[in-house]
Homo-oligomer: A and B are copies of this chain.
């Protein structure tokens, strides 16, 4: 075997054995995996298909990070439903030329992202393909009738962000050597640069929130910010038939970025300056956007056990016209 063995060198049986070494022993070897949901709970299912060159690339995403991010995106969808996790299945399409080390690191990244939540890969499939692709289905559960939806926000609700926004986009810019276009990025300390790159490569799904919020015993409307903070709010408003007023200076930014750095005017949004555009539209931060009554919202923000702390970034207003989200800028 060559010093950098490929999938073709390994052969199907040994590839399967390698992948199974990342799964709990009891789920290996039958036609399907078995899981035991808790009585009185609904099953929550979400699925994602990630393709090489579209969702990950060797240029910005080492295989360990690609595996982590793929799992994080799915766990984030479970969190957005107020669910806890049960496990994931992984379908893997690989060209024969794919290095074995790439697959090992991919699976290690998945397992490392799952481990803090006591979750595992419970099933899978692997096949030959011209292009690398990863299909993940995450399974979770939520107490019957307690799932968080997008359609239940009410006028007067506080809008809460569970963490900073814009960091994943900033990390990508650094990885793509775009820093020259953004003086604020170019001037960052090495530690801040590393932290932003980590936000792109190793986002933290907020699967800690459903458990935290259960104690509040209040109606929660939720969505994750995987497609951007602004997109999440627009969808929440549309599905709930309400509007939103967003206090731009209340949006938490990652360390190293601040609104006062802003110098560039964004053409498509006159008056919207960098890095606020990344915070609103960058996406892939995988935080949660929650709408809940102001009292419980404040309680959540005062919870010192949440890292980073939750922040109220605006309020739900009566339905407006075409622009459901109104941006309020500091004077």
Contacts and interface: CB of A to CB of B under 8 A. Distances in A.
Nearest to A124: B47
Interface of A: 29-37, 39-40, 42-51, 53-55, 76-78, 80-81, 83, 86-87, 89-93, 122-131, 133, 135, 137-140, 142, 144, 147, 149-151, 223-224, 239
Ordered nearest first, which 5 A-B pairs have the shortest CB separation?
A135-B135, A49-B91, A32-B46, A137-B137, A31-B80
A81 B78 CA distance: 26
A45 B170 CA distance: 38
Contacts of A86: 43
Contacts of A51: 93, 127-130, 133
B47 A91 contact: yes
B36 A93 contact: no
A42 B36 contact: yes
A233 to B, nearest CB: 14
Given A55-B127, A131-B129, A92 B49 contact: yes
Contacts of A48: 91, 125
A147 B26 CA distance: 13
Contact of A123 (B47, B90, B124, B126): B47
Nearest to A239: B29
A24 B125 CA distance: 27
Contacts of A78: 31-32
A40 B38 CA distance: 9
Given A78-B32, A223-B31, A45 B91 contact: no
A47 B89 contact: yes
Given A43-B139, A135-B47, A127 B54 contact: yes
A125 B73 CA distance: 12
Contacts of A29: 150-151, 239
Given A51-B93, A135-B91, A135-B135, A45 B31 contact: no
9 contacts: A29-B239, A30-B147, A30-B150, A35-B42, A47-B123, A51-B93, A51-B129, A53-B130, A91-B91
A144 to B, nearest CB: 7
B30 A127 contact: no
Nearest to A80: B31
A30 B81 contact: yes
